[in-house]
Amino acid sequence: MKRLVKIVGLILLALVLFFAWKFFIRFLPFVPHERITISLPFAQENDDLLFINPMGETDHHKPPRGHPGLDFAWNHPAPLIAVASGKVTKIEEHPPGGFGETEKIYDVEVVNGIYAIRYDEIKPADNIKVGVMIKKGEVIGRGGEYRQQDRLQYSTHWEFDYDSFVTDRLCPLTYFDEDSHSRINAIWDKVGSTYNGQFPEICSGFYKGRDKLREF
């Protein structure tokens, strides 16, 4: 009996240590760390976007935080590329939203150290599976296909964040390499957003300047 109690106690201790480790890992963003440098999730030849929907938009997303990522849209199936190397940790089917989807679309998460990058509402490439390691610049897939009146549109919802359940998304502007930073500003100046002047910046409202941990 004592031996059984000891075994059960060891099992419980192992479980406690395991979950404590997982909990600690999720808090690593709060300790000093090296910032990552990322690219845009598409190559320069696909800078011909229809629009970018900004972070912080509250026309269609609940305030005060609003839209927690960036939406990129094209009139052609532009390949999406990894903004950083990492491990594919999650692939989930995106629930139908009634916006004219013509196919099943998926949400893909890639983790690089303490950072999580999400490529949502996409058609993943055939080689993108959970557990696969990918390199920066490798094709992740393409934007999901939507029928908009008399044309097709391909778009993705993209998020950049810490891999932690106690933080919110980050504005990626200061994480972009110099070329990507110049490109996204040029695209924004050219095509802007589908929303009104209430959201004049790529990271508006709640997410303006939110590129590091801060109190909520």
Work out the percent of the chain whose per-residue pLDDT is above 90.
66
In a domain, 81, yes or no: yes
Average pLDDT, the chain: 88
In a domain, 214, yes or no: no
pTM as predicted: 0.85
Could you tell me the pLDDT band of residue 215, with boundaries at 50, 70 and 90?
Answer: very low
Q: Does residue 26 sit in the same domain as residue 43?
A: no
Query: Strand pairing of 106-112 and 79-81?
Result: unpaired
The span from the CA of 109 to the CA of 161, in Å, is 11
Mean pLDDT throughout 127-148?
A: 97
Q: Is the dihedral of CA 14, 18, 19, 24 positive or negative?
A: positive
Give the amino acid at 129. Answer: K
Per the structure, the count of domains in the chain is 2
Q: Does residue 59 sit in the same domain as residue 112?
A: yes
More confident of the two residues 42 and 32: 42
User: For the purposes of burial, counting CB atoms within 10 Å of the CB of 199, is it exposed (0-12), middle (13-18) or buried (19 or more)?
Assistant: buried
In a domain, 21, yes or no: yes
The span from the CA of 200 to the CA of 61, in Å, is 16
Q: What is the pLDDT of residues 138-193, one digit of tens each?
A: 999 999 999 988 899 999 999 999 987 767 899 999 999 999 999 999 999 999 88
In which domain, by residue range, is 166 found? 37-207
**Per-residue pLDDT for 30 more than 70?**
no
